[in-house]
Amino acid sequence: MRPEHPIVLITGASSGFGAAMARLLAAQGCHLALGARRLDRVQVLADELASAHGVQTFAGQVDTRDTASVNAFVAAAAAALGGLNVLVANAGLASGVHKLWEIPDEDLEAMLRTNVEGVVKTIRAGLPHLRQSGWGHIFFIGSTAGHQPYEGGTVYCASKFGVKAMAQALRLELCGEQIRVTSVDPGMAETEFSAVRLKDDAKAKSVYQGVNPLQAEDVAECVRWCLSLPDHVNIDEILVKCLDQAAIHKIHRRA
């Protein structure tokens, strides 16, 4: 049975989609475990949401690339909150815009270890708690980059095609259990994503110039809606783009 106030674990909650999901779900009465490498940020958010909405929150430092770090974070979160019902494997990044033959090992490893291995490690650690609670929902955060590859995005796209494959395979593996599996796959959204990718705030701003992009709150709303549906309904995948982005390469920019 779905609890009245689900306990939701979100990785990458220090910024962007993860922080927006935390805000929206706390307002719905969800209890929250928030993780990221920047503990100061998740701690401030967790404290703010606990006091604003009267929900229980836990903030922990986690590097999703690291098995021991993930296992410790998930175990501490479940112990502090009395279990887990929902996992949002959101932590991720793009690093650079290199062509395949140009990419430095550092960027290659950052994307594959975070976007693929980190997602596996998060779900692997959290799933026993969902099973124990008898009801669960797992969210993957994919991307339009997992539907359509583009130049300069070879490895990032490969990682997000990987996310799509993992979501589809896990849904098959969990068939028969009371655990839903959803992939939310956004197009361009204005968060810290481009600043992290380009390592340059001015260049990052220009990515969204003249466009009315998705905001983090729009993606959070997709998660809230999927969670709100009756238990027998599973939204497999949401591909969500701003109106100005008809496709990866087709973006309407105002002068």
Which residues are catalytically annotated? 156
**Closer of 103 and 145 to ligand 8X3 (Cβ):** 145
Cα–Cα distance for residue pair 137/181, rounded to 1 Å? 6
Q: Which does 38 bind (CB under 5 to 8 A by kind): ligand NDP, ligand 8X3, none?
A: ligand NDP
Contacts of 231 (CB under 8 A, 6+ apart): 2, 135, 178
Site string for ligand NDP, 154-193 (x = CB under 6 A): --------------------------------x-xx-xxx
Record the tokens describing residue 84, joined without a space. 């887990």
Q: Which long-range contacts (CB under 8 A, 24 or more apart) does 129-134 make?
A: 129/74, 129/78, 129/83, 129/84, 130/84, 130/85, 130/86, 130/87, 130/179, 131/177, 131/179, 132/83, 133/3, 133/7, 133/83, 133/84, 133/85, 134/1, 134/178
32 near ligand NDP (CB under 6 A): no
205 near ligand NDP (CB under 6 A): no
Could you say which of 116, 181, 188, 226 contacts ligand 8X3 (CB under 6 A)? 188
8-state DSSP, 117: I
CA contacts within 13 A on the Cβ side of 242: 18
Q: What share of the chain is helix, strand, coil (3-state, %, to 5)?
A: 50, 20, 35
**Closer of 66 and 177 to ligand NDP (Cβ):** 66
What are 34's strand-pairing partners?
A: 10, 59
Q: At which residue do the structure tokens 């008809």 appear?
A: 246
Which listed range, 40-48, 77-85, 101-109, 138-146, lies at the site for ligand 8X3 (CB under 6 A)? 138-146
15 near ligand NDP (CB under 6 A): yes
Could you say which of 36, 78, 166, 181 contacts ligand NDP (CB under 6 A)? 36
Q: Which does 11 bind (CB under 5 to 8 A by kind): ligand NDP, ligand 8X3, none?
A: ligand NDP
Which listed range, 54-62, 139-147, 209-217, 228-236, lies at the site for ligand 8X3 (CB under 6 A)? 139-147
Which listed range, 32-40, 99-107, 171-179, 240-248, lies at the site for ligand NDP (CB under 6 A)? 32-40
122 near ligand NDP (CB under 6 A): no
Residue 52: its H or E element? helix 39-53
| 11 and 23 Cβ atoms separated by less than 8 Å | no
Q: Applying CB under 6 A, which residues contact ligand NDP?
A: 11-18, 36-38, 62-65, 90-93, 114, 118, 141, 143, 186, 188-189, 191-193, 196
Q: Applying CB under 6 A, which residues contact ligand 8X3?
A: 143-145, 153, 187-188, 248
